[in-house]
Every structure is written in C-alpha cells, then in structure tokens.
Amino acid sequence: MTEESTHRYFDDLTVGEAFDLGSETVTEAEITAFAERYDPQPIHTDPAAAAESTFGQLVASGWHTAAISMRRFVEGVVDNAGIAVVAGVEVENLRWRRPVTPGDVLTARAEITGLEEWDEKRGIVRFELVVRSDEGEPVLQLTKRVLVGRK
Amino acid sequence: MTEESTHRYFDDLTVGEAFDLGSETVTEAEITAFAERYDPQPIHTDPAAAAESTFGQLVASGWHTAAISMRRFVEGVVDNAGIAVVAGVEVENLRWRRPVTPGDVLTARAEITGLEEWDEKRGIVRFELVVRSDEGEPVLQLTKRVLVGRK
C-alpha cells in the first residue's frame, strides 16, 4: 500500500462510525507516578492516607484517566484507523463518573458524533469517547473536537 | 494556627474570588516524556519530525498542558489557599488556544464563577482557569466543577 492508502481523511469519515480503542490495566505505580508529578494530593499519591479518605483507597487523578484516554485514542484512531489527526481543538465536556483504582482494567471506545467543514485543508471531527471499568460502568466520558486533514 | 483555621470550606467562598496559581517553565524533556507515555505523536515526541509539521517545532500535548494546569491548581487552590477540595466532577469546557513549545513560561490563574449547594457535607465550586504564555496570551482555558467540603 502507498502511504496515501493507509490514511483516512476528513472526507472519508461518517457520523456514527465507532472505534474500539482497546484496554489496559492501571497500576498503583502508574497512579502514584502521574499524581506525584501533576496532581500531588494524598488520595492519589499516598495509599495509607487514601485509605482514611472518603474513597477508602488510592484513586487515580482524573487527569491521569484523561491522559490514558488520549493514549487509547492515539492507538485506536490515529495509529490503527489511520485517521489524519492534526490537533485537538476543544473538549466540549468531560465527566469523571466513577473513581479509578489500582488494578482496574479500562476499556475505551470512541464514536464520531459530528463532522464540520473548516477550510480547504482541514475539517473538524467531533468524537464522543467513553472509558469503562472492568464491570462495564463508565469512569470517564468526554466529547472533543479535533482537526483532521482533508485529501 | 489549628488545622481548622488553615482550611477554607465551601461556605467561606465567594463568586469572583481569584487565585494566582504561579508560573513554571515547560522544558523539551518534560514535553517528550509526557507525550511518549500518553500522547505518542511525532509533533510531541520527535523534534526533527515536528520541525517538518505545520507547527514547525515540537509542541506540548494538549493533555500535558491540562495536567500542568492541575499541578498549578493543586499548588494555588489546595495547598496555598487551603480550599477543601474533595474531587473534580466535570470539565464543562476546555479549549487549547495556542501551541505550547519548549521554554515557554506558563502562568495560571483561577476564578470562582459559581457556587452550588450539593448536600450537607459538600458544595460544588465552578472555577474558570486560564493558562497564559510569556506574552500573556491564553494557551489553555477550562471551566470545571469541583466538590468542596463544607464546615
């Protein structure tokens, strides 16, 4: 295949198209490493202090779960589906629905919910992204608008 | 001071109150380290490839800038102002306004734009957070709703 044929552009996409973004396990080491750097609060960094909190145990920073959703998006939408993503523009809404704790297996899925013309070179694709826990319950949901190249 | 007097609770806060969240320099090493883990795209991880892109240079992952905004929020709102933050609930809107590049000095500020009663133990505080570049231009803006403890 030529490089052209491995990529999908704005004009190739349709509303309702969905992408399986795969699964990954969240470890205690990753939760504390992220939080020590970007969200240094005891419920994210200190298992003993977290056990005394209302959560009763260590929970991942919400921004860590959001960052994991981006890693899944890059793998599933950019690398596997070959969509010509240029840049994120905006998150319309992001909700943290349930805490993420060590050992959770997170599974992510994205669906195209909107397509907007932008200019001759790019369009805006609206994705609804959901990250679910082992039990299938949503832990994070977000809607984002992303610039995608045109042919 | 007793522990009580160093904390501020939901009922102590007012709409319009603003918090200086300080400044920090974003390094190329931090940009690539974050992106290798959470947003592995060449414009964030590979200076040579980034130089050939529409951005013309390495740019930080938008989720990295968002994570930096949380680090600033924890320092300024949780640690320095002593506000009894329990958890983030939702980001109503997040916009990446301009690219962040190595050496940029980012300055953040948060303002309370809403207060909602929740239950006897907690209220919801709405913060508007802006991260600006050296030139004072906004690079990231977000509005979030955060659970804060009551007295």
Is the CB of B41 less than 8 angstroms away from the CB of A85?
yes
Q: Exposure of B5 by Cβ count < 10 A (0-12 exposed, 13-18 middle, 19+ buried)?
A: exposed
Mutate to test the interface with A, among B31, B38, B39, B98 (most CBs of A within 10 A): B38
Let me know how long chain B is.
151
Q: Which B-chain residues 93-132 have CB contacts (< 8 A) with chain A?
A: 93-96
Contact A39, B70 (CB under 8 A): yes
Provide the ipTM.
0.95
Is the CB of B66 less than 8 angstroms away from the CB of A62?
no
Question: In sequence order, what are the residues at sequence separation of 6 or more whose Cβ sits closer than 8 angstroms to the Cβ of residue B119?
Answer: none
**pLDDT (0 to 100) of residue B52:** 95
**pLDDT (0 to 100) of residue B10:** 98
Any B CB within 8 A of A46 CB: no
A136's enclosing H/E stretch is: none
Two structure tokens written together for A14: 């349709």
Q: What is the pLDDT of residues B23-72, one digit of tens each?
A: 999 999 999 999 999 999 999 999 999 999 989 999 999 999 999 999 99
Q: What angle do CA A121, A124, A127 make, to 5 degrees?
A: 145
Any A CB within 8 A of B91 CB: yes
Mutate to test the interface with B, among A57, A91, A101, A141 (most CBs of B within 10 A): A91
Any A CB within 8 A of B88 CB: yes
**pLDDT (0 to 100) of residue B6:** 80
Percent of chain B residues past pLDDT 90, beyond the cut: 93
Q: What is the pLDDT of residues A55-66, one digit of tens each?
A: 999 999 999 999
Domains of chain B: 3-149 (3.10.129.10)
Select the residue of A40, A62, A67 nearest B74 (Cβ to Cβ).
A40
Is the CB of A66 less than 8 angstroms away from the CB of B63?
yes
- pTM: predicted TM-score of the whole model, two decimal places: 0.95
Q: What is the pLDDT of residues A87-141, one digit of tens each?
A: 999 999 999 999 999 999 999 999 999 999 999 999 999 999 999 999 999 999 9
- Of A1-5, A142-146, A147-151, B111-115, minimum mean pLDDT range: A1-5
Q: What is the pLDDT of residues B95-143, one digit of tens each?
A: 999 999 999 999 999 999 999 999 999 999 999 999 999 999 999 999 9
- The three-class DSSP label of residue A150 is coil
Strands (E) located in B5-137: 18-25, 85-96, 105-117, 122-132
Contact B31, B64 (CB under 8 A): yes
**pLDDT (0 to 100) of residue B124:** 98
Is the CB of B86 less than 8 angstroms away from the CB of A54?
yes
**pLDDT (0 to 100) of residue B2:** 45
Average pLDDT across chain A, whole number: 95
